[in-house]
Amino acid sequence: MTRDSIRGSSDRSILILTSLADWPKHGYALIKDIEEFAGVKLGAGTLYSALAKLEQAGLVEALPAEERRRPYQITAAGREFLYQRLTESARIAEVGLRRIAVASS
Amino acid sequence: MNRHLVRLLLTLYPRPWRDRYGTEVVRLTQQLIATGETTPTRGALNMAGAALAERFRALADSPRTAVAMAVAALLAVAGSFYAGGHARPQKPPSAASAHPVVAKLTSVGCDFQLRPARGVVVPAGDTAAIAAVETETGNVSPVLIPVDVTAPDGLRPVTFPANLKKGQFVCVVAVPQSAPGGS
């Protein structure tokens, strides 16, 4: 199993929700932002597949198009979902880091 | 990408998806190519891969497919009862095969509705536990999945009991999440 192979579609959803957490973004801005903060370069097809799922789940919503580009924004449910997932991840990260530190001391 | 290729790639997507997101995904792909962020080949491959994934998803969500799968499951269950009527030396049943109905339904029952949901895990074939969860949660949709299937997007990650082995089955009951901010 490679490092990349453990990045599932769930991770993509979290990346997108994280990117939208501050303000709405359109597709290109999402790709650039995610690349910048996570080092993950999503393709257009991949991005819109994930966006479609998130929209269907009510976690993001499309805003009216501006200059032929349609921005997306996170919903209240999406913010709650992201908060819970990140809290879980932070808890796991904390335990993992603590154990690594103990093992290497 | 030329117009013919774009049209071909778009036809790979299910029609509702294409109508809703087709223009946007093409525009973004062309923008990524124009800015040198990707090549036309990569852009086309990414669109084609995503289109296939959407096709599979649409197939899994189709009510007609769900009915066909249910009929197939009933036939499989009926077949297993028929085959079971012909006495033969049997191996001791595994956790999954001890409950043929559960096992058969499991193989066709993965009809996840994508929405924030809670996953409740009970041991395979533990009908009392499944019934208890259903009673406790009220209006629920039991979804049976094999242990080695990852919970899809929209479901909370499920921690499977450590004593379950690959090939055994668990029951995940998907319960619509309460309103944001609720418990």
- Interface confidence, given as ipTM, is 0.82
Query: Can you list the domains of chain A with their CATH numbers?
Result: 4-104 (1.10.10.10)
Q: Name the average pLDDT for chain A.
A: 89
* pTM of the predicted structure, to 2 decimals: 0.56
Within 8 A of A80 by CB-CB distance, chain B residues are 180-181
Q: Which residue of A has its CA nearest to B118?
A: A81
Nearest to B169 by CA among B140, B118, B130, B111: B130
Q: How far does the CA of residue A29 sit from the closest CA of chain B (Å)?
A: 10
Q: Each residue of A44-59: pLDDT tens digit? A: 999 999 999 999 999 9
Residues 6+ away with beta carbon under 8 Å from A29? A71
Residue B144 has a pLDDT of 46
Cβ atoms within 10 Å, residue B166: 8
Distance CA B6, CA B1 (A): 7
CB contact (8 A) between residue A45 and residue B20: no
Q: Are A15 and A40 in contact (CB under 8 A)?
A: yes
- What is d(CA B144, CA B161) in angstroms, rounded to the nearest whole number? 15
Q: Where are the domains of chain B?
A: 3-61, 63-176
CA of A29: which chain B residue's CA is closest? B28
How confident is the prediction along chain B (183 residues), in pLDDT tens digits per residue?
788 888 889 999 999 999 999 999 999 999 999 999 999 999 999 999 999 988 888 777 776 666 666 676 677 767 666 655 554 555 454 444 444 433 333 332 333 333 333 445 555 555 665 565 555 544 444 444 444 444 444 444 444 455 544 444 444 543 333 434 433
